[in-house]
Chain A
């Protein structure tokens, strides 16, 4: 019996071998529930790059984490142990990344983050097999702080949800912002009614508002703020102004300044080709998440071209070199494997009947992150 099953599994392995791809990628991302738009954009951007490369030696296994850390951990175990993937990627949310990344990198797998960049993984908890292709979480908020200085705001009111990324956001903003704060609020995560906060902004005498309220929270805040009749400039990171949600905010977003490492009108050939092909393939404009997925896949392809994934040291060097055409133009990794890149200020405009963003200029140039010094690799 034992012999038989052994023989059978050998036979299956032999049968499967010729069809097996050289590099197997496990993508764990959010494809269902309220946060699905982000995961779908990352997946679509990633798969577009794989398809354009025309390679058949890359196999991608895609699974839905449902935005739940426990599900993500189970999927990661499955991918490492039974699917035998070489590289993992895809996680959107920082709390899920914290649950998955340290364990898979400790098992010798590579992890390429297309979105989440928690400070813990950039500083003390950095790992030689962990590469972040998006940003460190603080980056876009730092850009917003620098933008506020450039605009001469001196009495800003700041708010963010009461969870780790929200605290990172306000910390990042305050790291660069030089003026005074007229108020600092932590809202409930998932809060949808901001009447109480807006009343406080009105009473505070602020000259500007900075907010980090990703996804649906930002939609609610912007619509209610616009309806309140308060006429103050608003600054936020791109997470409340990405292509997926702008249409839902509507005209309330027009003219709002937001910070991003990418924009669809960044002037470089790789980006122009990406935006055109994404729109053709999926019938919608790409968001920054889609650009991050696309860059992640191209980084991976550039490394596969140079080194065999079974040669971990060579493959790591190839990733570190980051020799691919990024949609952001210049792209390189800092010592902790997080990007050193420009953070741009964009403005929401109307183009035909869609709302989208236009780059105004760079808020920060060649910005790394505040935690690189703590990273001992």
Chain B
């Protein structure tokens, strides 16, 4: 177990955490402002990845693909907000879960209908491919470093938007008392559509960025959606800061757990059994983390008081 390996794993954890944040930010905003549980958030991640794959295949440019992902996911988000979700704000959570689950199925089969059943190709641009050598002789993929930087930049932009702009004030006001800001003359319908499209665009961006090093296929959003829910529960529902801290915690726990738990068991078990038990425990690690946080702080790290 060398120091290089540990640092590399820390970077990996940071990278997967920051991508989770892009997913979780939209989810937590939508839940905080509109009180809506949106299971179809993973579908928007998929829409982003497919839009990027289609656009970069057509134009040959990964960066145009990213633009397409942002626009495509935001448009898909705005459309489902205007046509379906708007009717659900006043309903209870069970109705929302049912309707957004139906949206998952519609998006999945719709995507399959348009793009076929086989995974699409989306590769990282040549400019960002290959490893770079970091101080200390660590070889690390340039693309993953770029993901960390993009994620941090988006996080900073989001904090600025929420804390320093008029829209941000309205979003925060909407979280606290939606009747009151409607009474003060804010067009709440437009605000909701904007927040939803913003969340969708972030999910689409994450889908496109991650899709380039993973597989662009139908159903790719659902595993990420589950992790994103864990993140916002840990961070406290509605809190952007909580989403960031929660995402980093989940990313680091997941990555470090999957390497160090099997190593730990290897100290007193035979290697095959140790890697099996270690792998099983590692996949539980984030849920154990979630349970521990909830015992300590039932509304999450930065959640509003219950």
- In A162-207, the 8 Å CB interface with B consists of 162, 167, 181, 184-188, 190, 192-193, 195-197, 199-200, 202-203
- Cβ contacts under 8 Å, A200 to chain B: 5, 259
B16, B117, B143, B271: residue with the most chain A Cβ atoms closer than 10 Å: B117
Chain A residues with Cβ under 8 A from B129's Cβ? Answer: 227
Contacts of A184 in B (CB 8 A): 271-272, 275
Tell which of B8, B123, B141, B258 has the most Cβ of chain A within 10 Å. B258
Q: How far is the CB of B185 from chain A (nearest CB, A)?
A: 46
Report which of B9, B16, B262 forms a contact with A193, defined as CB distance below 8 A.
B16
Q: What DSSP secondary structure best describes chain A's contact surface?
A: helix
A228 to B133, CA, bound (A): 11
Is there contact, CB below 8 Å, between B112 and A32? yes
CB-defined interface of A190-226 with B at 8 Å, one 1/0 digit per residue?
1011011101101100000000000111011001100
Residues of A with C-beta under 8 A to B272: 184
Q: Are A192 and B279 in contact (CB under 8 A)?
A: no
Check if A352 is an interface residue, CB within 8 A of chain B.
Answer: no
- Indicate whether A227 sits within 8 Å of B2 (C-beta atoms), given known contacts A162-B279, A162-B283: no
A32, B218: Cα distance in complex, Å: 9
Which of A181, A190, A203 has the largest number of chain B CB atoms within 10 A? Answer: A203
Contacts of A202 in B (CB 8 A): 8, 139
CB < 8 Å neighbour of A34 from B218, B279, B282: B218
A152 within 8 A of B: no
Give the interface segment out of B86-94, B158-166, B209-217, B229-237: B209-217
Contact of A248 among B2, B119, B255, B276 (CB under 8 A): B119
Q: Is the CB of A229 closer than 8 A to any CB of chain B?
A: yes
Which chain B residues (274-298) contact chain A, with CB distance < 8 Å?
275-276, 279-280, 282-283
Query: How far is the CB of B38 from the nearest CB of chain A, in Å?
Result: 20
A344 to chain B, nearest CB (A): 23
Q: Does B124 contact A (CB under 8 A)?
A: yes
B interface, size bucket: 35 or more
The answer on a CB contact under 8 Å between B255 and A192 is no
- Majority secondary structure, B binding face: helix
B213 touches A203 (CB 8 A): no
CA of A227 to CA of B262, assembled, Å? 25
A250 within 8 A of B: yes
Partner among A36, A167, A223 whose Cβ is within 8 Å of the Cβ of B214:
A223
**Contact A227 B131, beta carbon cutoff 8 Å:** yes
Is the interface on chain A under 10, 10 to 19, 20 to 34, or 35 or more residues? Answer: 35 or more
> Closest residue to A162 on the B side, CB-wise?
B279
The answer to whether B117 and A37 have CB atoms under 8 Å apart is yes
A244 within 8 A of partner (CB): yes
Q: Does B131 contact A216, Cβ atoms closer than 8 Å? A: no
A28-54, CB < 8 A from B: 32-34, 36-37, 40
Chain B 213-259 residues near chain A, CB threshold 8 A: 213-220, 223, 255, 258-259
Interface residue ranges, B against A (CB under 8 Å): 2, 4-5, 8-9, 12, 15-16, 108-109, 112, 117-121, 123-124, 129-131, 139, 141, 143-144, 210, 212-220, 223, 255, 258-259, 262, 271-272, 275-276, 279-280, 282-283
